[in-house]
Amino acid sequence: MSEAATLPAELAPVTAAFQAAATDGQRLVIRGSGSVLDRLPPPAGAEVLSTEQLTGVLDHRPEDLVVTVRGGTPVEELAALLATHGQECPIEPLAGHGGTVGGRLATALAGPRQLAAGRVRDWVLRVRLVTPECRVATAGGVTVKDVTGYDLCRLATGSWGTLGVIAEVTLKLRPIPTQSAWFSTERPATSALADLYRPAAVVSTADATYVHLEEHPDDVTAQATTAGLTPAEPPRWPTTARAAVDPARLAELTDWARRSGLDLAAFEGVGVCLLDGDAETISAAAAQVAALGGGLLHLDPRAGGAHAPSGGPTDMRERVRAAFDPEQILTDVRQSR
Ligand SMILES: Cc1cc2nc3c(=O)[nH]c(=O)nc-3n(C[C@H](O)[C@H](O)[C@H](O)COP(=O)(O)OP(=O)(O)OC[C@H]3O[C@@H](n4cnc5c(N)ncnc54)[C@H](O)[C@@H]3O)c2cc1C
């Protein structure tokens, strides 16, 4: 898995930065496009290790529905290239938020389309990671069956830049659905869902339910008619905070958020709720989310940042981190407050 002897030239700046940091006792924070990072409090005393030079599509095999891309490649650039072949990887971030492929994997933030498309990690076939000790590790395989070895793909997905630089990623692709459209209804999500077959996304806001359908045009029209849906623009995505809870407990959070006057977009079946509101109410939301066993990421840079990692076995995360980064060169930006 370790392949330092065949280090590609474009990784030299990354390993040089890690070596210098180890020598100087400097801490580093990996930065993609900064769409999330720049909204969190700057980690004290850490230098930025940018992936902006680490871009480009390395291999696209349309017939195999597979693409290999460097970690700093903007997600929108990749989506545009794939669209020319009628293909997509349905893990793109929310419209307008940008992001790089490496950042998308590192944060593994669920989008509303996770309801039907699955999690980010389900689309990752292979990852190449450069660790702070300058080991270059590759794991996974280009075909779905070839997944022997250490499950680096899963470790890197959601690693938040704490294990190393995601330098290359191989992703599964799929054909772009023939039709893709947003609808809205005043029916509560649970009621609308009962009339829908595999919707791509169902999003509850403060006053409506939004449904994203992706299928053959005839099926989209038939489903929309049966469920009493009206064509609509996508909902507005709040940007102050992002709560993640067990999908079964999402309704408790959305009921509370509505009563508290927060603006919200809750991804039904996924367990994510984006929130907008004043600092005091968002703090109260953080307590509410913690009581539900979830985590809240505060993404308002003016608020000075706040964070609760969303669940998960913290001790295991720390053990993995210590194995990849024993000198603790990399900063966990979610802990930087
Ligand atoms: C308010 C807000 C809410 C959002 N909510 C969602 C959502 O719910 N669902 C969704 O799909 N998208 C969401 N996004 C989009 C999200 O910004 C992108 O999906 C992407 O995850 C971030 O990419 P980036 O390159 O900007 O990462 P950055 O903001 O630069 O970095 C984010 C984290 O990833 C690490 N990182 C970045 N690149 C690498 C790399 N190559 N190797 C290792 N670690 C790396 C950084 O160290 C940092 O910890 C949201 C964005 C915003 C601003």
- Residue type, position 32, single letter: G
- CA-to-CA distance for 329 and 27, rounded, in angstroms? 5
Domain count, the chain: 2
Between residues 312 and 293, the one the model is more confident about: 293
Q: Give yes or no: residues 146 and 187 share one domain.
A: no
154 and 196 in a single domain? The answer is no
Question: Does one domain contain both 239 and 168?
Answer: no
Same domain (yes/no): 136, 263: no
Report whether residue 160 contacts ligand 1, using a CB cutoff of 6 Å.
Answer: yes
Ligand 1 center–CA 32 separation, angstroms: 7
Q: What does the pLDDT read at residue 5? A: 52
Asked if 292 and 246 count as a contact pair (C-beta separation under 8 A), the reply is yes
- The DSSP line for 8-39 is -GGGHHHHHHHHHHHHHT-EEEEESS-TTGGG
> Are both 298 and 217 inside the same structural domain?
yes
Nearest atom, ligand 1, residue 38 CA:
29
To test the pocket of ligand 1, the residue of 51, 107, 129 to mutate (highest count of ligand atoms within 8 Å of its CB) is 107
The confidence score (pLDDT) of residue 208 equals 95
Residues 246 and 318 in one domain: no
The answer to whether residues 35 and 162 belong to one domain is yes
303 lines ligand 1 (CB under 6 A): no
124 and 239 assigned to the same domain: no
Give yes or no: residues 128 and 203 share one domain.
no
Pocket test for ligand 1, best of 10, 14, 35 (most atoms within 8 A of CB): 35
Atom number in ligand 1 closest to CA 129: 42
299 lines ligand 1 (CB under 6 A): yes
Where are any strands of DSSP class E within the chain? 27-31, 46-50, 57-61, 66-70, 87-88, 124-130, 136-140, 165-172, 174-175, 179-185, 201-205, 209-215, 230-231, 241-244, 263-267, 272-276, 295-298, 306-307
For residue 146, the model assigns a pLDDT of 39
* 161 within ligand 1 shell (Cβ under 6 A): yes
Nearest-CA residue for atom 3 of ligand 1: 239
Residue whose CA is closest, atom 36 of ligand 1? 103
How confident is the prediction for the chain on average, in pLDDT?
Answer: 88
Same domain for 186 and 170, yes or no, is no
User: What residue type is 301 in one-letter code?
Assistant: P
For ligand 1, whether the C-beta of 297 sits within 6 Å is no
Claim to verify: residue 8 and residue 144 sit in the same structural domain: yes
Give residue 6's pLDDT: 62
Is residue 71 lining ligand 1, measured as CB closer than 6 Å? yes
Atom of ligand 1 nearest to the CA of 332: 49
Residues 22 and 170 in one domain: yes
Q: CATH number, domain at 38?
A: 3.30.465.10
pLDDT band at 215 (very low <50, low <70, confident <90, very high): confident
Q: Does the CB atom of residue 169 touch ligand 1 within 6 A?
A: no
In angstroms, what is the span from residue 93 Cα to ligand 1's centroid? 8
Residues spanned by the domain of 303: 179-307
How far are the Cα atoms of 16, 121, 153, 250, 322 from residue 160, in angstroms, in the given order?
21, 14, 13, 24, 14
**Would you say residue 325 has pLDDT above 60?**
yes
Q: Is the predicted pLDDT of residue 335 greater than 70, yes or no?
A: no
Q: How far apart are CA 310 and CA 192, in angstroms?
A: 28
**pLDDT reported for residue 110:** 83
pLDDT above 50 for 57: yes
306: pLDDT strictly greater than 80: no
Mean pLDDT across the stretch 192-212? 94
Cβ–ligand 1 distance for 140 under 6 Å, the answer no
Confidence grade of residue 337 (pLDDT, cut at 50, 70, 90):
very low
272 in contact with ligand 1, CB cutoff 6 A: yes
Render pLDDT for 137-183 as a digit per residue (tens, 0 to 9): 887 665 444 334 447 888 899 999 999 999 999 999 999 999 999 99
Alpha carbon of 36 to ligand 1 centroid (Å):
5
